[in-house]
Amino acid sequence: MSRQAPARIHVITGGFPPGEHAGHDMDYARLRLLQLIAEYDNLHATVANDFADVNKWLPGCRLLVTYVAGPFPDEQQNEFINQWLEAGGRWLALHGTSGGKAVRLSEGMGRKMVKSDHHETLGSFFLNHPPIRKFKVSVVDREHPLTRGLPEEFEVMDELYLIELLDPHAHILLTTELEQDPSPPGFGFKYDEDTSLQPDGKTRVLGYVRDMGKGAVAYFALGHCHSPSSNVQPFVDPGVAADGQTPLLFRGSWETQPFGQLLRNAVRWGVEEQ
């Protein structure tokens, strides 16, 4: 009796410019993701640092996992990902995947994120995040395969991403409450309007899933991590450190049980038979 070939997952973790960490411990994130995949003897992984050769690795792949800070697919690569999703592929996108290209404004005015084609495929667009802070995450739908086993609410220390949800039909899974962006002057990225704020004036979306033809995209904004050599955080919210000093080694959500459960659920969701 022949053995069934293991399902393949393609993992992209990397910063920009190529080879840089871009303020994140990419080695840690990559290792943790590969360790999760290694828990299953019927899965194996291929890895990359950006989307440059995504057309080489997606054929025959069941799940694409991305944890990036800067790299994003260009127009041609995005079209290939679209076709792969429409045909049944699944994409687990984490943290900085909702970012991409930033442009520098006039002198002293900071930077602003630029919306690209890949944001339409992903279904969301990153605006900014305040300094690392402690906040509560609400699980909107605990019956979905991606959130099964999670508590109704859990607390994390992380970068609280403000993301604009671009797909009105996306199924929201995780939210938090934050009425106003508490970023101090000069911190983070500029934006014209806070389009991440939901109609109730306090809710922010942190996770969702959206159908794409026969496939689907799931995005979760949690997951910042940095090491002493990759830390670029000038300070943190007093709820993280009373003196505002940034911990040189920060794992945040990665060290919580709910985030680990979420990632394990996502791996199973990504490779299950469609």
Query: Helix 26-38 vs helix 257-271: angle between axes, to the nearest 10 degrees?
Result: 60
**What is the per-residue pLDDT for 107?**
72
Peptide bond between residue 17 and the one before it cis (omega within 30 degrees of 0) = yes
**What is the per-residue pLDDT for 5?**
75
Residue 109 has pLDDT above 90, yes or no: no
**Phi/psi of residue 104, nearest 5 degrees:** -85, 130
Bridge-based pairing of strands 215-220 and 153-158 is unpaired
Which residue type, as a one-letter code, is found at position 200? D
**Distance separating the N- and C-terminal Cα atoms of the chain:** 24
pLDDT digits (tens, 9 = 90+) for 18-62: 999 999 999 999 999 999 999 999 999 999 999 999 999 999 999
CA-CA-CA-CA torsion sign (194, 195, 199, 205): negative
**What is the per-residue pLDDT for 2?**
42
Token pair belonging to 221 = 């904004």
May I ask the CATH class of domain 7-271? alpha beta
Bridge-based pairing of strands 133-139 and 162-165 is unpaired
Residue 161 has pLDDT above 80, yes or no: yes
pLDDT digits (tens, 9 = 90+) for 193-235: 999 999 999 999 999 999 999 999 999 999 999 999 999 999 9
Question: What's the CA gap between 204 and 206, in Å, rounded?
Answer: 6
Give 1's pLDDT tier (boundaries 50, 70, 90).
very low
CA-CA-CA-CA torsion sign (236, 239, 245, 250): negative
Find where tokens 């994003």 sit.
72
Domain boundaries, the chain: 7-271
Residue 274 has pLDDT above 60, yes or no: no
Question: What's the CA gap between 71 and 155, in Å, rounded?
Answer: 29
Question: What's the CA gap between 64 and 233, in Å, rounded?
Answer: 29
